[in-house]
Chain A
């Protein structure tokens, strides 16, 4: 079945530091890849997505590139802010059953990021 593996947290950085959160996946076919962010006490929000190999998703200074050869979708940001403190989830959509037409979103375990001033 489909699976997503992302680096375990927590990750603690100082403001303006460089951020990388690693994410690799296993899937049949051609999944779409996502990063979602969850701020304390809130639901998940889409941060960025990529739907095919070599696509780069970007938003709010974050970016991730769909790498089919390494089955990876690492999240990066050049300079983090205190307001980026949240839990980040890597996810993919894939078919529920081989040859089927129903999709489900499979999440990684989430990475807690804390940015200190």
Chain B
């Protein structure tokens, strides 16, 4: 069973479009995250939710809007896509914060044409 699953795996779209990435975890975790990995492999947190509440919102353009309908799901909607949004987006979850390790999905590779 896949613990953290993201869809789609690949997303190729035109500049200016709106797209969503879905994430689901079946680990019973309370906390979920979105990360962006750039072409040099650098990983940066974007958002974190704990029990469906937003707890971390880094300096991300407000074109990016996360939504957590329940503890097992955290979706990411992106409006008006720009060239600089091309990256791999990873969803992750953990049992809590602090020393609890995070479990990552396999990523969604977003390419903007």
Residues on A lying within 8 angstroms of B by beta carbon are 32, 34, 38, 41-46, 49, 51, 87, 89, 93, 96, 101-105, 107, 109-110, 112
Can you list 17 pairs linking A and B with CB atoms under 8 Å apart? A43-B4, A43-B90, A43-B92, A44-B90, A45-B104, A46-B102, A49-B101, A87-B41, A93-B98, A93-B99, A101-B97, A102-B55, A104-B45, A105-B33, A109-B41, A110-B42, A112-B41
Q: Is the CB of B56 within 8 A of A32?
A: no
- A73 → chain B closest CB, angstroms: 14
B contact patch SS: strand
Interface size class of B (residues with CB under 8 A): 20 to 34
- The answer to the question of B66 belonging to the interface, with a C-beta cut-off of 8 Å to chain A, is no
Given contacts A41-B106, A96-B56, contact A49 B42 (CB under 8 A): no
Q: Is the CB of B97 within 8 A of A103?
A: yes
Residues on B lying within 8 angstroms of A by beta carbon are 4, 33, 40-45, 48, 50, 55-56, 90, 92, 97-99, 101-107
Q: Is the CB of A46 within 8 A of B56?
A: no
Neighbouring B residues of A107 by C-beta, 8 Å = 42-44
Most-contacted residue by chain B among A34, A43, A49, A109 (CB, 10 A): A43
Q: Is the CB of A110 within 8 A of B4?
A: no
Cα of A107 to Cα of B98 in the assembled complex, Å: 14
Q: Is the CB of A110 within 8 A of B56?
A: no
Cα of A49 to Cα of B99 in the assembled complex, Å: 8
